Amino acid sequence: MQATSADLVREIYLAGTGGPAPRLTTDLTALEERARTIMTPTAFAYVTGDAGTGVTSRLNRQAFERQRLVPRMLRGAAHRDLTVSLLGRRLTAPVLMAPAAAQCVLHHEGELAWAGAAADTGVPFILSTAASHSMEEVAGVAGGQPRWFQLYWPSDRELAASLVRRAERSGYSALVLTVDAPTFGYRPTDLDHGYLPFLHGAGIANFTSDPVFMAALPEDPDQRAVIAHWTRVFANPTLDWDDLPWLRKVTSLPVLLKGILHPDDARRALELGVADGLIVSNHGGRQLDGTVAALDALPAVRAAVGDDIPVLLDSGVRTGSDVLKALALGADAVLYGRPCLYGLALGGRRGVAHVLRCLLAELDLALALTGCRSVADITPALLAPPGPPAPPPPPRGA
Ligand SMILES: Cc1cc2nc3c(=O)[nH]c(=O)nc-3n(C[C@H](O)[C@H](O)[C@H](O)COP(=O)(O)O)c2cc1C
Ligand SMILES: O=C(O)C(=O)c1ccccc1
């Protein structure tokens, strides 16, 4: 199941100079530009869209680029084991696909392609509450790989409980509660296009398939009424720490909080006993402009919670070396976001699987080249001591 770097390289060279598919590339940092050529301007703006000036996204990348690996030699790492144990399950690699809303605006198969690629590669996916196919439909193509459900906690508790119970029943094995989006960020690209997928009915399938959501509407409602109701219940800006024990009562699934950046929030989650894991993330720079890079926030969060609780990271992960750096700084695994979405836009299920295989291949090679036989061998000792601060990153497109 796991694509080794040797398999991938053989597959690509045997396919000839055209590579794995005409539009795809093995350069994981070049996917965005490829995707730009085939996506509608509105969909491209939605996916690439950052909050405000976009500085957070640039800082996310700069934080990875600032870290330098110091590889070790002659350690006999001819065979590498990428597998890791997370929440009691063995994963193919320390990588999961990050939750992303409304994927049908990128490709008509949307989350079904996402789940198919997970089955093809062994990389688990996290399904967004704001998916364009219902969680039950997506579960149907997912195969036996672990899959998690990301919860945007709606303003109605009965609806929240219904979503959680459905996720549990349809085989999602953990809940990711996103806590950094009590409201949308200020995203000038979306605002300038006047475009949000949800207002066109994309990304609301978990609601239109939900008995509690539908019971609040008149029989046979028109789309405008459905969307209007969705905008009323989707977000819950009043959510606070005191609400979280309720979630514990509703489900026996492990809960991870996504969007933690401050060590005090990390400590609080543990003290209250409301989280089985944390995801250090700034939502890919889409929420608050000027936020600290997720990678820079990671070491303090790890130090605050100790080694026993899973700490994952996303925001800016693009390459196999990035995964290695995140793990060296204390992450147990990473979530892979926009590159998978570009793969989806470029080639549906095959495109997402290609992107994931490239990442795993590059990670596998990075282990070989740093002298690591397994993920457990990745330690802070692989990183050079911090150097002088880098100059500020240039704005996008400069
Ligand atoms: C188009 C798009 C939609 C997203 N939708 C969700 C979502 O529904 N729920 C969520 O928790 N995070 C969502 N995210 C954030 C990702 O889970 C992840 O935090 C982010 O993509 C990481 O940044 P990166 O992709 O630049 O590495 C979304 C991100 C993008 C790009
Ligand atoms: O676009 C996003 O980043 C996102 O997480 C989202 C998804 C659906 C509704 C609101 C925000």
Q: Where are the domains of the chain?
A: 5-382
Query: And the tokens for 309?
Result: 């609780």
Q: Which residues line ligand 2 (CB under 6 A)?
A: 101, 130, 181, 184, 283, 286
pLDDT band at residue 104 under the 50/70/90 scheme: very high
pLDDT in tens, 170-184: 999 999 999 999 999
pLDDT band at residue 21 under the 50/70/90 scheme: low
Q: Does the annotation count 107 as an active-site position? A: no
Q: 148 with 124: CB under 8 angstroms?
A: yes
Query: Which atom of ligand 2 lies nearest, measured to the CA of 101?
Result: 7
Q: Measured in angstroms, how far is the CA atom of residue 226 from the centroid of ligand 1?
A: 24
Length of the chain: 398
pLDDT in tens, 349-371: 999 999 999 999 999 999 999 99
Task: Give the closest ligand to the alpha carbon of residue 203.
Answer: 2
Q: 32 with 338: CB under 8 angstroms?
A: yes
Q: Which amino acid is at 272?
A: L
pLDDT band at residue 394 under the 50/70/90 scheme: confident
Q: Indicate the average pLDDT of the chain.
A: 95
pLDDT in tens, 31-79: 999 999 999 999 999 999 999 999 999 999 999 999 999 999 999 999 9
Percent of the chain with pLDDT over 90: 90
Q: Is the pLDDT of residue 22 over 70?
A: no
Coil, strand or helix at 149: strand
CA dist., res. 80 & res. 371, Å (int) = 9
ipTM of the complex, rounded to two decimals: 0.99
Q: Measured in angstroms, how far is the CA atom of residue 344 from the centroid of ligand 1?
A: 14
Q: Which of 47, 129, 286 to mutate to test the pocket of ligand 1 (most atoms within 8 A of CB)?
A: 286
Query: And the tokens for 214?
Result: 């539908």
Catalytic-role residue among 107, 133, 283, 354 = 283
Task: Give the closest ligand to the alpha carbon of residue 280.
Answer: 1
Burial class (CB in 10 A: 0-12, 13-18, 19+), 285: buried
Q: 305 with 268: CB under 8 angstroms?
A: no
Q: Measured in angstroms, how far is the CA atom of residue 281 from the centroid of ligand 1?
A: 9
pLDDT band at residue 143 under the 50/70/90 scheme: confident
CA dist., res. 315 & res. 57, Å (int) = 8
Architecture of domain 5-382: Alpha-Beta Barrel (3.20)
At 388 the pLDDT is: 72
